[in-house]
């Protein structure tokens, strides 16, 4: 449940465009930005899903514009940004959040399966950045990418996502260098395991979930508000000197090997106690 009181006015006067904003982490980002006073455009493939999400965001008292477009289609994204500008004003915050995922070993993955995730996650981020550029240049805005832990560490059954998200973070850092002189800041968030999301449904089972939580130093799943608040901060004037950063918001999960080491240490202590 998004608490709007402390965010009040943080992003007043801003227009945020969020891909994948119809559900999950990206809807959480949209709600937190709305709670902070920004006008919101949410973009996704299915208009009916966006309309339902838009009603939830309007509860925060801001103008909301749902716009259907597939991030894999650059022309459609350019049109979506122009329609948003006409409806809400020039975009000052763009969030490239749309992503796709499934668990599959490379030996079983088809050419098209690998390409589909590269197209959504990496090409979709490129297309969002390209389509946002003219308006972000006008507003001296912020461009935020939703990356993943797969960008930092290799994950079994996730070669497509590892390749795509590593690409997203390097794209982001290159844009931070190229577009920084024009006043545009670029950053990434690496969400940890976030409760109730499509990603968690796809990547865990009831049996593996407790093991995953045990690997998080904070010993809990994250919430969509954990990511939404970080997104508000990185897109706000409070982060005006932060660009090119990859920020894990994951309770410490991406600290190299800490999860498995802590698990081993627990077993070691349990063994000592039983002696």
Q: For binding to ligand COA (CB under 6 A), which residues are involved?
A: 99-102, 104, 109-110, 112-113, 116-117, 198-199, 202
Q: How far is the CB of 121 from ligand COA (least distance, A)?
A: 8
240 classed as catalytic: no
Q: Considering beta carbons, is residue 49 or 170 the nearer one to ligand COA?
A: 49
Q: How far is the CB of 109 from ligand COA (least distance, A)?
A: 6
188 classed as catalytic: no
Q: Considering beta carbons, is residue 104 or 123 the nearer one to ligand COA?
A: 104
For 103, residues 6+ apart whose C-beta sits below 8 A from its C-beta are 157, 158, 202, 203
Q: How far is the CB of 92 from ligand COA (least distance, A)?
A: 26
Task: Check 142, 147, 151, 235 and give the catalytic one.
Answer: 147
Q: How far is the CB of 31 from ligand COA (least distance, A)?
A: 18
Token reading at 236 = 């706000």
- Strand 64-68 and strand 39-44: the pairing is parallel
Q: How far is the CB of 9 from ligand COA (least distance, A)?
A: 32
Task: Check 165, 188, 235, 243 and give the catalytic one.
Answer: 165
Token reading at 109 = 């993955």
Q: Is 206 exposed, middle or buried (0-12, 13-18, 19+ CB in 10 A)?
A: exposed
Q: Considering beta carbons, is residue 117 or 246 the nearer one to ligand COA?
A: 117
What residues pair up with 44 in beta bridges, in sequence order? Answer: 68
- As a whole number of angstroms, the distance between CA 54 and CA 41 comes to 9
* Cβ-closest position to ligand COA: 100
φ/ψ (deg, to 5) at 25: -60, -40
The DSSP secondary structure of 60-78, one letter per residue, reads: TSS-EEEEE--TT-HHHHH
What SS3 class is residue 167? helix
Q: Considering beta carbons, is residue 59 or 106 the nearer one to ligand COA?
A: 106
For 181, residues 6+ apart whose C-beta sits below 8 A from its C-beta are none
- As a whole number of angstroms, the distance between CA 226 and CA 94 comes to 19
- Strand 93-96 and strand 64-68: the pairing is unpaired
Q: Annotated active-site positions, please?
A: 147, 165
């Amino acid at each position: 449940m998004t608490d709007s009181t402390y965010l009040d006015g943080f992003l007043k006067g801003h227009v945020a465009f969020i891909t994948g904003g119809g559900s999950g982490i990206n809807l959480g980002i949209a709600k937190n930005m709305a709670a902070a006073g920004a006008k919101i455009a949410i973009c996704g493939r299915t208009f009916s899903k966006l309309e339902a999400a838009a009603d939830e965001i309007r509860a925060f008292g801001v103008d909301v514009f749902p716009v259907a477009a597939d991030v894999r289609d650059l022309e459609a994204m350019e049109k979506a940004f122009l329609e948003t500008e006409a409806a809400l004003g020039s975009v000052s915050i763009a969030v490239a959040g749309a992503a796709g995922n499934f668990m599959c070993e490379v030996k079983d993955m088809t050419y098209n399966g690998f390409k589909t995730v590269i197209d959504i996650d990496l090409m979709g981020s490129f297309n969002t950045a390209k389509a946002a550029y003219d308006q972000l240049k006008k507003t001296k805005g912020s461009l935020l990418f939703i990356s993943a832990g797969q960008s930092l560490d290799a994950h079994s059954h996730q070669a497509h996502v590892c390749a795509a998200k590593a690409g997203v973070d390097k794209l982001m850092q290159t844009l931070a260098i190229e577009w920084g002189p024009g006043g545009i800041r670029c950053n990434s968030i690496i969400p940890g395991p976030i409760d109730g999301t499509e990603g968690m449904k796809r990547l865990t089972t009831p049996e593996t979930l407790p093991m995953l939580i045990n690997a998080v130093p904070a010993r809990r799943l994250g919430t969509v508000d954990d990511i939404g608040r970080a997104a508000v901060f990185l897109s706000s004037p409070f982060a005006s000197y932060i660009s090119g950063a990859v920020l894990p918001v994951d309770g410490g999960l991406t600290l190299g090997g800490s999860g498995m080491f802590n698990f081993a240490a627990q077993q070691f202590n349990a063994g000592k106690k039983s002696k």
